[in-house]
Amino acid sequence: MKQLKLLLLAIVVAACTHNPTPEERAQSLISQLTLEEKASLMRHDDGGVERLGIRPYNWWNEALHGVARNGKATTFPQPIGMAASFDEPLVEQVFTAVSDEGRVKHRQGMADGVSDWYEGITFWTPNINIFRDPRWGRGMETYGEDPYLTGQLGMAVVRGLQGPLDAPVLKTHACAKHFAVHSGPEWNRHSFDAEVSDRDLRETYLPAFKDLVTKAGVQEVMIAYNRFRGVPCGANRFLIDTVLRGEWKFRGLVVSDCWAIHDFFMEGRHGYCEDVTQAVSEAVRAGTDFNCGESYRHIPETVAAGLLDEAELEPALTRILAARIRLGELDDNDAAWADLSDDIVEGPAHRALARQMAQESMVLLQNKDGILPLVPGARIAVIGPNADDKEMLWGNYNPIPEQTVTLAEAMRERIPGLVSFQGCELVRREPLSAQEIAGVLKQLKDIDIVVFAGGISPKVEGEEMPVDLPGFRGGDRTDIELPAVQRQLLAALHQAGKRVVLVNFSGSAMGLVPETQHCDAIVQAWYPGEEGGTALAELLFGDVVPSGKLPVTFYRSIEQVPDYENYDMQGRTYRYFKGEALFPFGYGLSYTHFAYGAPRVNGSVLEVPVTNDGACDADEVVQLYVRQPADAEGPLKSLRGFRRVHIPAGATVTVSFPLTAETFLGWSPEAGDMVPVKGAWELLVGGSSADKALQRVAYSY
């Protein structure tokens, strides 16, 4: 009897001291909400419920490569440039810095007690869509064309932004977007229906999302504008309910892209619903928790019309309120980050990190006769439309840094009296006149080496832009060549006997065939952020050894690429492209040379010795690909591992890759998914995806 009394007492004490879970707290609040209040909480511009202590909160914030659209913050290289680093730990370090700045800026913004637009701690990044076609204007926001690379770097972004998932208060939210099967075109994204095979869906378009959900614990997933197999993604129960919440057990938030639910019924768009109430019903029932836009304002009338039951809102509201509780948003809990000083925002440590990332992102594509690094004392000029353009360096979805160093500014620091001028516009409709070319050459008459800062710009490529210029349409490109006016001037410089170093700024692959003939060196610089100019000057003069590798295939011309609106993977990316690329995926030169020894399998590990047989210490990105010889319809090869290693001059480093079940994932028609496939495989290891750069080992799994 005494033991029974003690047990009952323990139960009573436990009940009295029970700390409710975030879900329990959320459900308690939901029971007290009116329908109108529920509708308000399911929008990005959450109006709050003052009487219950729920503050207004704006969910919409951006951190693509720095805390964006809210003034000062460190501006790191555009994601496509970060992908070229193949440096997973550094990417995580960058986004740890971004989330640190995000917490500081949130604290500053909350001084009035209300989180305004772009002041929250829920960041709608990373963009992990596959950059399947070089014409897509938003490809610069992604981590390239390969599902494995995208998944690995995307998970690093999530870890850096969110911090430990078991922390008492979550640091921030990351958001995997855009789910699913979306990578252009920009001009028809509000009406486009993406049709792909089950194999392409599971082998190419979904793996990175699966990695971020099942391994990294991403807290939000944003649905795409387009339809998938006839159904808008925001109403697509197969994508949201079957795959995301069913197969992958996602328990986080599903958010619509901005005003995407309006696309369900607006004239000239999907034509999927008759009006906004039907659209709201379809989205809520499919599992889209909250709405960026205005559609969910119509939840009360949707319920009144009998298209939705009020009880059907509870799962979404539970997830929304529980998320705010875990972020400390309902408890004014910022104590875990109280020691983050305001001074870290674009402070010296973060600028140094931006500089390192910019250095690692640069890809040396060509270096005839070792013209780079530049020799001190050479007669050098810096010209071109991107030589002194700060905004180009920032990319898109960017902060506004207080300090930005252009290439021309960095070169002036090194070369007193540097000859530097624009030379030509970025793009124009008419060619240069003979008089204009003569004028440029006259200014360069005493110059031996011309560093030409060309390429394109976020002013002409990006998200749904009102751009109508030769080679561009609505933010996308209709061609991949260098703008004609730049190509013309580079040819003229070559004909005049100038040695030319082309620094190509772009967020996407360029067709540079004539430039390989007219230029002595080509450096792919992407949009390298606020420290991009300094990093470039260091690379050009040899203070830094180039180590970046291409995260996308550089085709010779647009003729090598299938129709833009066809989402089939055959003929696309290094995995399915059978032609001769201008510069292949994974390619990048150095100022030294790396020799690969014979790889061997040691138990369940592939080992390969790599020797730096050049004269300078440098980093090499060692890449592991796999291929199934029996799978005639499958990829030519698929990246399944990479290691960025530092190798001193004259030294040899043995690089190891564990061979796990995930190394041998392949398409199974029987399973309808990617599974470990038993049988014969080839392991291919080397410094790029080009066949001539790879050594093969037969392996039976």
Question: Which CATH number do you get for residue 248?
Answer: 3.20.20.300
If one counts the domains in the chain, the total is: 3
Q: Give the whole-angstrom CA distance, residue 677 versus residue 344.
A: 48
- Residue 6 pLDDT: 39
572 lies in the same domain as 626: no
Is 219 part of any domain? yes
- Residue 649 pLDDT: 98
Q: Give the whole-angstrom CA distance, residue 64 versus residue 154.
A: 11
Sequential DSSP letters for 224-235:
PSSEETTEEGGG
pTM: 0.96
Question: Which CATH number do you get for residue 618?
Answer: 2.60.40.10
252 lies in the same domain as 115: yes
Is 588 part of any domain? no
Average pLDDT in the chain = 95
462 lies in the same domain as 504: yes
- Residue 12 pLDDT: 39
Q: Tens of pLDDT along 552-569? A: 999 999 999 999 999 999
Q: Tens of pLDDT along 384-442? A: 999 999 999 999 999 999 999 999 999 999 999 999 999 999 999 999 999 999 999 99
653 lies in the same domain as 536: no
User: Closest by alpha carbon to 124, among 45, 220, 1?
Assistant: 220
- Residue 696 pLDDT: 97
- Residue 455 pLDDT: 98
Q: Give the mean pLDDT of 83-99.
A: 98
Reported as a pLDDT band with limits 50, 70 and 90, residue 338 is confident
User: Closest by alpha carbon to 548, among 358, 389, 412?
Assistant: 358
| DSSP structure class, residue 559 | G
Catalytic residue among 360, 461, 520, 620: 461
322 lies in the same domain as 229: yes
Q: Tens of pLDDT along 263-297? A: 999 999 999 999 999 999 999 999 999 999 999 99
Is 138 part of any domain? yes
Compute CA distances 549 → 22, 132, 322, whole Å. Answer: 44, 17, 41
- Residue 648 pLDDT: 98
Percent of the chain as helix, strand, coil, to the nearest 5: 35, 20, 45
Is 17 part of any domain? no
Is 1 part of any domain? no
Q: Is residue 461 annotated as a catalytic residue, yes or no?
A: yes
474 lies in the same domain as 451: yes
276 lies in the same domain as 319: yes
Three-state SS for 174? coil
Compute CA distances 173 → 66, 266, 283, 326, 344, whole Å. Answer: 14, 31, 22, 10, 20
Q: Choose the final residue of a domain: 548, 576, 604.
A: 576
* Burial tier of 311 (Cβ tally within 10 Å: 0-12, 13-18, 19+): exposed
Q: Give the whole-angstrom CA distance, residue 227 versus residue 210.
A: 20
Three-state SS for 147? helix
Reported as a pLDDT band with limits 50, 70 and 90, residue 11 is very low
Q: Choose the final residue of a domain: 511, 541, 576.
A: 576
Report the sign of the C-alpha dihedral through residues 476, 479, 480, 486, in that order. Answer: negative
Reported as a pLDDT band with limits 50, 70 and 90, residue 17 is low
Q: Tens of pLDDT along 466-502? A: 998 999 999 999 999 999 999 999 999 999 999 999 9
Q: Tell me which H or E stretch contains 608.
A: strand 605-612
491 lies in the same domain as 511: yes
Is 21 part of any domain? no
Catalytic residue among 92, 257, 346, 620: 257
At residue 608, what are phi and psi to the nearest 5 degrees? -140, 130
Q: Choose the final residue of a domain: 542, 576, 610.
A: 576
Question: Which CATH number do you get for residue 477?
Answer: 3.40.50.1700
Is 107 part of any domain? yes
Q: Over 60: is that where the pLDDT of 9 sits?
A: no
Alpha-carbon radius of gyration of the chain: 27
562 lies in the same domain as 689: no
Joined together, the tokens standing for residue 490 give 């580079």
599 lies in the same domain as 680: yes
Compute CA distances 520 → 68, 369, 452, 492, whole Å. Answer: 37, 8, 11, 14
Joined together, the tokens standing for residue 140 give 């610069």
Compute CA distances 682 → 2, 579, 663, whole Å. Answer: 70, 21, 11
User: Closest by alpha carbon to 545, among 364, 689, 412?
Assistant: 364
486 lies in the same domain as 393: yes
Q: Give the whole-angstrom CA distance, residue 554 versus residue 480.
A: 9
- Residue 253 pLDDT: 98
42 lies in the same domain as 158: yes
Q: Tens of pLDDT along 640-673? A: 999 999 999 999 999 999 999 999 999 999 999 9
Q: Is residue 257 annotated as a catalytic residue, yes or no?
A: yes
Q: Give the mean pLDDT of 345-359.
A: 98
Domain span holding position 317: 33-343
Residue 510, Cα to own-chain centre: how many angstroms?
Answer: 18
Is 103 part of any domain? yes
